[in-house]
Chains A and B, each alone.
Chain A
């Protein structure tokens, strides 16, 4: 029943391309002249990444020999194991700069939260499709779905990894939207995030966006009380953001937010990273400064340039050509995956592929948005490009599963 035409060569091609670009950037960021200023464990990042890519490739191929049904079958167990390990990490994890995110397994540092994302996606998809009760109009189903996501989020927050937690939290509206939640309500659910973002930039813009969202919800659902509650919720968020900025936030947190809004205010302090990241990308120009020639990168002006700021390395050394290539590859990946999702027969496959796409997209937007100062710096890796073995493996596994589902879509049917 397998038709090799269904094997997503395009997705594989994108995966190879992004991985290659990532390797080049990581090499430059850790093996270039900059290595002089780096501790040796960071200099080893490049070879470690190669190892993880090797492992991931094996997994990618191996997974193609299983049936999509397997993922359905193991999803709850996998979820339970990952959650247990994640909780374990909170207590016995390796502490690095204030967060316990890594667990030492057979001498390898593993970031469980990366796998927990995959597990959550599978578990939620399985839950919502197993009963064939794909409607979330049933309140109990909706609540369970939310809980399935919320528990990992809390555990990840306890690991002090707010970025990843936020990404996972925002999976809720996507899943609910897919499972039949009206668009207006989906919008209502994500509206606090949108309004909050604009409120941080400026209070009046926040208010305007609140009104626009309320109007959109009315237009979508034609339910006045929904729009009114959206409006009220919006105002609460706007005021809450303002109060949080002025009163609740710790000075260093406030500094980070202010640095995002106006990095030149304190170029040596909180605005430093933002300014250096923008400078790196901006000074790359059209052609870039050349491989291992970027002064911002090689003179160590960028923080975490092999993970969270890897996009700056590409932007600086390969210029607009390099950074737009990365953007185009990601755009192609997302659109291709969404198309694949649309032609899946089995709702499980649909939901998994959509969720995976969404996770990639969220990481991509936050990472590139941080590096280009469109968003406050949140610190999430760029899928396939950033250094990080667990993340690479988890992301590849997700991709492998998507490819697998597409490959077996004919044999994987709800009617069987």
Chain B
């Protein structure tokens, strides 16, 4: 009986165990059906994401070449180590330090810096590390959570050519840049000045993507799907500039330790041959990791190296304005090339405007050559009293003075060429009189222009009356080598006649052969024409101007030089311009003493001495 009961118990026990097995099986079966059939669509992408990493492949930025095809800006790879502080484990610090081959304290300092910057954003821990360190990190990346590596490139300047204000620098895109364009990612470096900024869209190229198979440690194992999904990056377009590398290097050398600007251009086309604003900043120091100290120093520098004086500064043109006054006088018929005006030593109109040119009769040629103020004050007097002010302003603007010339650089000033509207605004409606206008005749007072504008103006004069659009980029060469040319404007200034031009040009040639330009600008075998000038500076030493073109009968180069706080243009700006012309037309400097003089030039105290330009005396009170 007992045995039977036991047998019954056994049977039931086995039934129970069988039931448990069946229940367990049903649960697990249900589970694998759920995972593998119902939720397949959820897990399949998950496993793909797991094992595939999309990497952005940055394209090479376009090169920048000079007018002869010499590379002046290219790229150089740099290796960076990145960190995402939130994912980094501090107990791995010694491993990291060992791989980086740096003392632990140094690494710790950088890690803390990154933590202060952002816990969750990836930032660069070390940049420009040697390739061996870079690959050692790649190998050990699985041991170092939160640490990454990337290849970046930085701008490289193979020549000893800086051209900081023409080329411009790159900086990490700001949050605003990032929000404005979906093409820019946080951390990208974009052009922030110069042609790097203006031609950013051409230079940057198209970003590529590549899909990499990665393992659980994040190590890349190679292309996913044989790279079929990858998009190759497209290299940025190259810029063929109008700059002349040799000339630019000379100009930079000359302008070292000085303040001012030099703009040299081809007067026939507006191609900028050289553009320097001094002091410059060092592009090389801004190219890789931003040297915070250097960036701060150039920002805080009272000499404002970041400021592009060549196109952004505004100064009265002084006597360099006289050729254009002469042309307008001729145009209006106020004077003829033969008309002579007597200089008594001062021009009287309400008050005496002193004229340091020797007293005597002056025709246009002589007035320009000797820079007589009387002649041009006489013209301005007529312009003002006969109601030609607005016409005058307009005609001067035709030469590119007082308006924007559309150069392919950012932050170009338009300068000031006053008309009645402007005077109303400045002094109050009708609250100005002839006394405020007289100074305009000798390029002082409210009239103010940039060195670039003077270069455009003298070019228009030199090329027979065509206004040209200054430009630095001649052509853009895309990835396939196709060149697309920029299309600078060139327009005839219709009121300028050849006859009148010849008269003014003669005067400008005279200024170099007989006038204030004869000391430094009169080259033995190149016919230079030009005009010196001095811009009044109520805040300190006056600024020296010189505008010139050469050869006088068939101009190939036009130059405008402004030397700030350097006194008379004849001794400060003229020698610089002459060297630029010599270098460009001769290919070398044949007057080493002038070069030496310029390199060692220090502004002197202002003593009129034998200099016959002294428009400074025309006080503008």
Contacts and interface: CB of A to CB of B under 8 A. Distances in A.
Interface stretch (B43-51, B258-266, B603-611): B43-51
Given A180-B9, A335-B21, A278 B28 contact: no
B31 interface: yes
B21 A338 contact: yes
Interface in B206-241: 213-217, 221
Interface size class of chain A, counting residues whose CB lies under 8 Å from the partner chain = 35 or more
Nearest to B5: A180
B593 interface: no
A327 B29 contact: yes
A281 B17 CA distance: 28
Interface stretch (A20-28, A210-218, A365-373): A365-373
Contacts of B18: 335, 338
B14 A286 contact: no
Contacts of A372: 28, 31-32, 35
Contact of B213 (A299, A319, A331): A299
B21 A361 contact: yes
A388 interface: no
A327 B37 contact: no
B21 A334 contact: yes
Interface string A318-335: 011001100100110011
Question: Which of A282, A323, A338 gathers most chain B CB within 10 Å?
Answer: A282
Nearest to A283: B47
Contacts of A282: 35-36, 39-40, 42-44, 46-47
A316 B44 CA distance: 10
A317 to B, nearest CB: 12
A283 B21 contact: no
A177 B48 CA distance: 48
Contact of B44 (A178, A276, A285): A285
B339 interface: no
B17 A354 contact: yes
Contacts of A280: 47
Contact of A369 (B10, B28, B46): B28
Interface string A270-312: 0000001011111111100000000110011100000000000
Nearest to A275: B46
B421 interface: no
Which range contains the number of B residues in contact with the other chain?
35 or more
B43 A37 contact: no
B17 A338 contact: yes
A374 interface: yes
Contacts of A374: 27-28, 31
B28 A300 contact: no
A364 B21 CA distance: 10
B16 to A, nearest CB: 7
Contacts of B349: none
Contacts of A315: 32, 35-36
Contacts of B17: 174, 338, 354, 357-358
A154 to B, nearest CB: 26
Interface in A176-205: 177-178, 180, 183
Interface string A354-392: 100110010011001100101000000000000000000
B28 A283 contact: no
Contacts of B10: 178, 342, 350
B25 A296 contact: no
Nearest to A369: B28
A341 interface: yes
Nearest to B21: A334
Nearest to A277: B35
Interface in A231-285: 276, 278-285
Given A177-B16, A361-B20, 19 more contacts: A174-B17, A180-B9, A279-B47, A282-B39, A282-B44, A282-B46, A284-B36, A285-B37, A299-B51, A300-B216, A316-B47, A323-B36, A324-B29, A330-B25, A331-B22, A335-B22, A354-B13, A372-B31, A372-B35
7 contacts: A37-B215, A37-B217, A178-B10, A279-B50, A315-B35, A358-B17, A361-B24
Interface of A: 37, 134, 174, 177-178, 180, 183, 276, 278-286, 295-296, 299-301, 315-316, 319-320, 323-324, 327, 330-331, 334-335, 338, 341-342, 350, 354, 357-358, 361, 364-365, 368-369, 372, 374
Interface of B: 6, 9-14, 16-18, 20-22, 24-25, 27-29, 31-33, 35-37, 39-40, 42-44, 46-48, 50-51, 213-217, 221
